[in-house]
């Protein structure tokens, strides 16, 4: 009788039953809305002076604020000096001569406009402060020094010509060295560069590009910015003499042209400092030992101002030549 061998069943792995989880999958976290990146406040493809972009209302705030601040600061500081000098030295309030303390007050009030312009453009216009000095490059102190040396020679040459053809117009007639003279020289040397730089930062660094931001096309924007800043610069000097008013207006236009050509404020700051510092130093030395007298009333200008106007235009031509040489050298390098 055949019997079948019975083999044991193979061992089986123990099975574990997994109970279905009763926890539902976690819901996805809601997407956090991301604000679009704020557009750059400066456009390097546009010329300096029309390189900033801001909302249309911001220049309507920035420009009046700067102009009002300039007049308020100047009036307040000058009144404080008049009160001090009247109390301590018995100065007549009708005396219009500029003492060392009066020059200090005037220069500091204008020098303060540089930081105020930077602050206004940063807080209201959201513009980085470096963009007010030069764009797209960085500001160069070496470039400023080169321009200052060249412009100083140009201004001194113009004064030499004026002394030959119209010596009465220069006022370089009564040399004297007194305590007042020394005070004027010290104040001029220490604060006149700050005063000139403050004006350039305000008018060419802030007002010109702020006004230009109203127009989208680059060239019309640049023209608008230069015209607005130039007219305001001429008017704030408060001269009703046609020759002097023309000179201040042309001066502002030439400073704007220098800034556009060089894409920065080095050239206009250097010329403004050189011009004002030389005139203040010579004015102090030849004031007969007294305070300075700056008269901008009708009749104080004349055809002799054409010499200074030619100097302004020559300075612009010099900037154009030097910047053209610098650009050619960079291309070769």
pLDDT of residue 96: 84
pTM (2 d.p.): 0.87
Mean pLDDT on 123-133: 94
Question: Between 119 and 94, whose confidence is greater?
Answer: 119
> Quick check: 3 pLDDT over 70?
no
pLDDT at residue 116 in the model: 98
Judge contact between 171 and 279, C-beta under 8 A: no
DSSP letter assigned to residue 198: H
How far is residue 82's CA from residue 92's CA, in Å, rounded to a whole number?
9
Identify which of 87, 85, 54 has the alpha carbon closest to the alpha carbon of residue 211. Answer: 54
**pLDDT band at 25; cut points 50, 70, 90:** low
Q: Give residue 30's pLDDT.
A: 58
What does the chain come to in residues? 333
Q: Say whether 79 sits in a helix, a strand or coil.
A: helix
- H or E element, residue 78: helix 57-89
Least confident of 37-51, 252-266, 281-295: 37-51
Band (122; pLDDT cuts 50, 70, 90): very high
Give the mean pLDDT of 113-121: 97
> pLDDT digit string (tens) for 196-226?
999 999 999 999 999 999 999 999 999 999 9
For residues 240 and 155, the answer to whether their CB atoms sit within 8 Å is: no
How far is Cα 274 from Cα 290, in angstroms, rounded to an integer?
23
pLDDT at 32: 56
Q: Would you state the structure tokens that stand for residue 274, as one six-digit string?
A: 């050189």
CB-based contact 171:295 (threshold 8 Å): no
What's the chain's average pLDDT? 89
Q: Which of the residue ranges 97-106, 113-122, 299-308 would you say has the lowest mean pLDDT?
A: 299-308
pLDDT at 269 over 50: yes
Per-residue CA distances from 269 to 200, 306, 311 (Å): 6, 22, 15
**Would you call 19 exposed, middle or buried from its count of C-beta atoms within 10 A (0-12, 13-18, 19+)?**
exposed
pLDDT digits (tens, 9 = 90+) for 141-170: 999 999 999 999 999 999 998 888 888 777
Percentage with pLDDT > 70 across the chain: 88
């Amino acid at each position: 009788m055949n019997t079948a061998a019975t083999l044991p069943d193979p061992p089986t792995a123990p099975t574990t039953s997994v109970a279905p989880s009763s926890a539902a999958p976690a819901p996805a976290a809601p997407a956090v809305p991301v604000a679009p990146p704020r557009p750059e406040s400066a456009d390097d493809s546009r010329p300096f002076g029309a390189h900033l972009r801001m909302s249309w209302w911001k220049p309507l705030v920035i420009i009046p604020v700067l102009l009002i601040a300039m007049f308020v600061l100047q009036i307040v500081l000058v009144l404080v000096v008049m009160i001090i000098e009247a109390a301590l030295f018995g100065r007549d309030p009708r005396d219009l001569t500029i003492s060392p303390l009066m020059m200090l007050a005037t220069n500091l009030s204008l020098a303060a406009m540089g930081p105020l312009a930077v602050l206004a453009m940063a807080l209201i216009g959201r513009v980085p402060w470096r963009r007010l000095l030069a764009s797209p490059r960085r500001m160069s102190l070496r470039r400023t020094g080169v321009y200052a040396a060249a412009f100083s020679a140009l201004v001194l040459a113009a004064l030499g010509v004026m002394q030959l053809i119209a010596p009465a117009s220069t006022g370089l007639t009564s040399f004297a060295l007194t305590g007042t003279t020394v005070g004027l020289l010290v104040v001029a040397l220490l604060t006149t560069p700050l005063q000139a730089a403050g004006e350039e930062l305000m008018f060419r660094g802030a007002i010109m590009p702020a006004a230009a931001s109203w127009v989208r096309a680059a060239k019309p924007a640049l023209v608008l910015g230069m015209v607005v800043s130039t007219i305001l610069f001429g008017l704030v000097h408060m001269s009703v003499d046609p020759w002097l008013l023309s000179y201040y207006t042309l001066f502002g236009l030439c400073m704007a042209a220098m800034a556009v050509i060089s894409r920065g404020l080095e050239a206009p700051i250097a010329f403004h400092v050189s011009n004002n510092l030389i005139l203040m130093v010579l004015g102090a030395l030849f004031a007969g030992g007294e305070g300075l007298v700056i008269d901008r009333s009708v009749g104080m200008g004349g055809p002799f101002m054409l010499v200074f106007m030619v100097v302004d235009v020559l300075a612009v031509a010099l900037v154009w030549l030097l910047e053209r040489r610098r650009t050619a050298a960079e291309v070769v390098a």
